[in-house]
């Protein structure tokens, strides 16, 4: 495990120096269609997926240069994106495969609380296109 975390530092540095982080940030910006909020959502989902494949520490190190590049491409503050990577890298427990008991408890029913919160967030975002209330803590 320590070798994996140590190797992720080198890979994170390589992502930043080779331009791969900028390329991936361009893909994220394309999916988000230039909207900083949706870029944040895409970055979060990507970080959670990477966390499921490797350890959370390694996922944070790998996604950090991508987060910085996404913020730079959008011309916005990097702080929301760094916080997003921190939370996303530590949120592997929210998926059904994140931990053994999650799969056992969600095998018989849908996690309705999660679906409701996602639906509420999407409706809230659709209703407020100006973005004035979207980032009260960390403005873009």
For residue 110, being part of any structural domain is answered with yes
Q: Are residues 61 and 109 in the same domain?
A: no
The structure tokens listed for 57 are 């520490």
- How far is residue 10 from each of residues 15, 29, 69, 89, 102, measured CA to CA in Å? 9, 25, 17, 18, 32
Q: What is the pTM of this model?
A: 0.67
Farthest CA pair distance, the chain: 47
pLDDT at 133: 52
The structure tokens listed for 39 are 């870029």
pLDDT at 31: 87
Q: Are residues 72 and 116 in the same domain?
A: no
Q: What is the span of the domain harbouring residue 72?
A: 2-94
Helix 20-32 / helix 2-18 crossing angle, nearest 10 deg: 80
Contact 4, 54 (CB under 8 A): yes
For residue 135, being part of any structural domain is answered with no
For residue 122, being part of any structural domain is answered with yes
pLDDT at 79: 94
Q: How many CB atoms lie within 10 A of CB 116?
A: 10
Q: Are residues 31 and 14 in the same domain?
A: yes
pLDDT at 71: 92
pLDDT at 140: 60
Q: Are residues 120 and 87 in the same domain?
A: no
Per-residue pLDDT of the chain (140 residues), as tens digits, is 677 667 777 777 787 788 888 888 888 888 888 889 999 999 999 999 888 888 888 888 889 999 999 999 889 999 999 999 999 998 877 777 766 666 666 555 555 555 555 555 656 555 555 555 555 555 56
For residue 43, being part of any structural domain is answered with yes
For residue 31, being part of any structural domain is answered with yes
């Amino acid at each position: 495990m320590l070798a994996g975390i140590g190797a992720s530092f080198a890979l994170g540095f390589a992502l930043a120096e080779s331009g791969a982080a900028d390329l991936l940030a361009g893909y994220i910006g394309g999916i988000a269609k230039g909207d900083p909020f949706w870029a944040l959502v895409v970055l979060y989902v990507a970080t959670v997926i990477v966390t499921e494949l490797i350890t959370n520490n390694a996922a944070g190190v790998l996604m950090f240069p991508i987060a910085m590049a996404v913020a730079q491409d959008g011309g916005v503050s990097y702080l929301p994106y760094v916080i997003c990577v921190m939370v996303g890298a530590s949120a592997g427990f929210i998926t059904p495969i994140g931990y053994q008991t999650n799969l056992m408890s969600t095998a018989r029913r849908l996690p309705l609380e999660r679906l409701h919160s996602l639906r509420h967030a999407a409706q809230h975002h659709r209703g407020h296109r100006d973005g004035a209330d979207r980032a009260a803590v960390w403005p873009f």
